[in-house]
Structure 1
Amino acid sequence: MAANEHKDKKPPNAGGKGGQPLVIAKTLAEAQRLKLDRLMRNPDKPAPIPDRHKQWTPRAPPEFVRDVMGSSAGAGSGEFHVYRHLRRREYQRQDYLDKTSARYNKEQAYLDKVEQNRVDAEERTAKRRKKREKLKLKKLTAKKAKQDSKGDQEEAKSSSSSSEEEEEEEEKEAEDDAEVPSFIMGKK
């Protein structure tokens, strides 16, 4: 009886390596989690990164066809299947060439559009740069004109203050010499 009990019992690490229990993923998320857990157990070990799948390319057409099938009577019953296979392969090759040329045309159109956008952006930038430079030059000339007018005003003030003083002295002398009028025009 003890032998039967021993057969029914499974060891604690049944199926797993290194004492890990065997876990079967029921969903894709669990499978991904298990893979990540296995990778994270030993972070120093490099992770396997699969190579990119190579794109399918059709077999090149034969350079020289030795068994050209004619339309003569007497062709065997197996010749139709050979013809059908060759025809299917040629259609696949033509479809592949059409798809690659369409992809190439799309890529060229995209690259042309990117280049056109770059040129347009450069033109807008140049236009705005020119406008900024023009505005900056205008501000500088206005600033210089303002400084020049301030300088002229200061000179005018200094010369006008001396001329005003002279006029005041002349008015005082004229008032002293003249009779005092009974009314004064223009003064309030």
Structure 2
Amino acid sequence: MSEEEEKQVTVVKNATDLQRLKLEKLMKNPEKPAFIPDRPKDKRFSDPAEFVRNVMGSSAGAGSGEFHVYRHIRRREYSRQEFLQQCKEKDDLEIDYHNKLEENKRAVEEKAAKNRAKRHRLKERQKAKRQKLREMKKKGILPPKESSSSSESEEEEEMEAEEEEKKGAEEEKKKKGAEEEEKKKGAEEEKNEEAKEKAGELLTSDIKMKKHDINNDTISDKNGDNDVEKRGKEVMKQMDSDKVEEEKD
């Protein structure tokens, strides 16, 4: 029967059947060690070359095989950059995860400390109440009967006190935020005023420079006009002297 059972072919219809077959195969020989594959190693890329030899492009003179070399270098560089980007994203996610764990731990510790303080207050109150009852018994005074309503009122008072503390903390946070916003606005206004003053100074300096240039241009124009007049007078004198010489001849 065992050989017939071994020869029977089982049809795998889904993933659960496959998992069941694997487990049965493992449990047939429990002493045989199970194969546990190693963790896949991270991909590593060589560092980029400091000097790129055989630089080529799509210009004239490049051989037919040069483009394939260039394409291989480009593909290798793209894959390296993609790997670096993936490493950066992985590191960022890990940092965010650890930060979230720390925040959750801090929140749990704060909540535990708050509950601890609440229990301590209740213990102190009960201790004071027992002390008071002992003193009343010593003096021979009968203690008043406590009702459930008194304990409920105490709990309500505690809840109200906690709510008031929360409101006070929230109001302090709001005040601090408003003060910080006012400080930021004041700093921004000061910066804007300084920028306006600098812009005004630059404008005044530009206007002065333009005026100076205009004055220099007018002076140079006047000097040029005087030179033209002198030249004209010299030409007229030369023409008159030429006419006199011709008349003499």
TM-score normalised by the chain length of structure 1: 0.61
Residue in 1 that maps onto 2:46: 60
* Aligned partners of 1:39 and 1:47 also within 8 Å: yes
Cα offset, 1:28, TM superposition: 5.9
Partner of 2:29: 42
Alignment of 1:76-155 (within 5 A): 76-153=63-140
Q: Deviations over 1:96-143 (max 9, x none)?
A: 111111121111111101101111111111111111111111110111
Query: Equivalent residue of 1:43, what SS?
Result: coil
Distance 2:21 2:125 in 1: 70
Contiguous gaps of at least 5 residues in structure 1: 1-12, 14-18, 155-188
Could you tell me how far apart the structure 2 residues matched to 1:126 and 1:41 are?
A: 54
Instruction: Tell me how many residue pairs correspond in the alignment.
Output: 137
Decide whether the 8 Å contact of 2:56 with 2:66 is kept in 1.
Answer: no
Unmatched 5+ stretches in structure 2 = 142-249
How far is the alpha carbon of 1:37 from its aligned partner? 3.3
1:21 and 1:137 map into 2 onto residues whose CA distance is 78
User: 1:151-170 to 2 correspondence within 5 Å?
Assistant: 151-153=138-140
Distance 1:87 1:22 in 2: 55
TM-score between both structures, scaled by the size of structure 2 = 0.48
Contact 1:25 1:31 in 2 (8 A): no
Tell me what 1:168 maps to: none
Q: Provide the C-alpha distance between the structure 2 equivalents of 1:149 and 1:76, rounded to a whole number of angstroms.
A: 110
RMSD: 2.7
The alpha-carbon distance between structure 1 residues 88 and 26, as it changes in their structure 2 partners (threshold 3 A), is: same
Change in 2 beyond 3 A, CA 1:115/1:31: closer
Instruction: Select which of 69, 76, 88 maps to 2:55.
Output: 69
